[in-house]
Amino acid sequence: MTQSPQAPSGADLPRLPVTLSVNGETHELTIDPRVTLLDTLREHLHLTGTKKGCDHGQCGACTVLLDGQRVLSCLTLAVMHDGQSVTTVEGLGTPDHLHPLQDAFVRHDGYQCGYCTPGQLCSSVGTLDEIARGVPSHVTADLDAVRFSAEELRERLSGNICRCAAYPNIIAAVTEVHAAGDGA
């Protein structure tokens, strides 16, 4: 297939303004509309905690929180999110003040190579919020009574792939944080 004749070339493409609040800090950017939210975070804002895995929405490594909900940053364009707020793994906690999930992942060894971990952490934050809000999943028996369980966690985190297979430790870490009631 050929490109349609009226398509602009890359060089002609106007760069567009976008304002993003990332981890509480406001950034005013001027970017090529092709740039994904993932590449904006990594290449323009140098926040390399968010990982590029498959870049096609299959692995979950690029998961961030967009206005509080977990999404795949590789499958959305930065220009579409003007005025919205993004939380990446860098915004969850710091080495001195870990987010409870980060602390639990360390203690339960919820990672081996660690590449999937930022996505697993952001996805876990979003998952705990979804369970608290009563959002059902494929394994929820009663649609009006969503209850936390390891089965629910496994289903809800199935979009995050860990090739080291640290899954049992991840489930243990998230379960502990949920039990302590401080996962938000």
Partner 1 sequence: MRAFAYTRADTPRAAAQAAEATGTKFIAGGTNLLDLMKLDIEQPSRLVDVSRLNLRDVTDTPDGGLHVGALVTNTDLANHPRVKSDYAVLTRAIVAGASGQIRNKATTGGNLLQRARCPYFYDTNLPCNKRDPGTGCAALRGLSRTLAVIGTSDACIAQHPSDMAVALRVLDATVNTLKPDGTARTLTLDEFYRLPEDTPHLETTLEPGELITGVTLPPPVGGTHLYRKVRDRASYAFALVSVAAIVDGDRVRVAFGGVAPRPWRVPDAEDAYARARADGRADALIDRAFEGARPTEENAFKVPLLRRTLKAVLAQAGQEAQA
Contacts with partner 1 by CB under 8 A lie at: 1, 3-4, 6-10, 12-13, 16, 33-34, 36, 55-57, 60, 63, 66, 69-72, 75-77, 79-80, 123, 126-127, 130, 133-138, 140, 143-144, 154-156, 158-160
d(CA 146, CA 133) in angstroms, rounded, equals 9
Q: Tell me the closest approach of the beta carbon of residue 98 to partner 1, in angstroms.
A: 23
Edge-to-edge strand list for the sheet holding 63-66 = 25-31, 16-22, 85-87, 63-66, 69-72
Residue 86, classed as helix, strand or coil, is strand
Cα separation of 94 and 97, whole Å? Answer: 5
How many C-beta atoms lie closer than 10 Å to residue 116's C-beta? 25
Measured from the CB atom, the residue of 69 and 94 that comes closer to partner 1 is 69
Q: How far is the CB of 4 from partner 1 (least distance, A)?
A: 4
User: What is the nearest approach in angstroms of partner 1 to the Cβ of residue 67?
Assistant: 10
131: nearest Cα among 173, 70, 77:
70
Q: How far is the CB of 95 from partner 1 (least distance, A)?
A: 26
Nearest CB to partner 1, comparing residues 110 and 126 = 126
Residue with tokens 């692995």: 59
Q: Closest approach of Cβ 8 to partner 1, in Å? A: 5
Q: And the tokens for 173?
A: 């870490």
- Residue closer to partner 1 by CB (options 97, 138) is 138
Q: Kindly state the tokens that stand for 33.
A: 């509309």
Shorter beta-carbon distance to partner 1: residue 22 or 66: 66
Cβ proximity to partner 1: between 97 and 145 the closer is 145
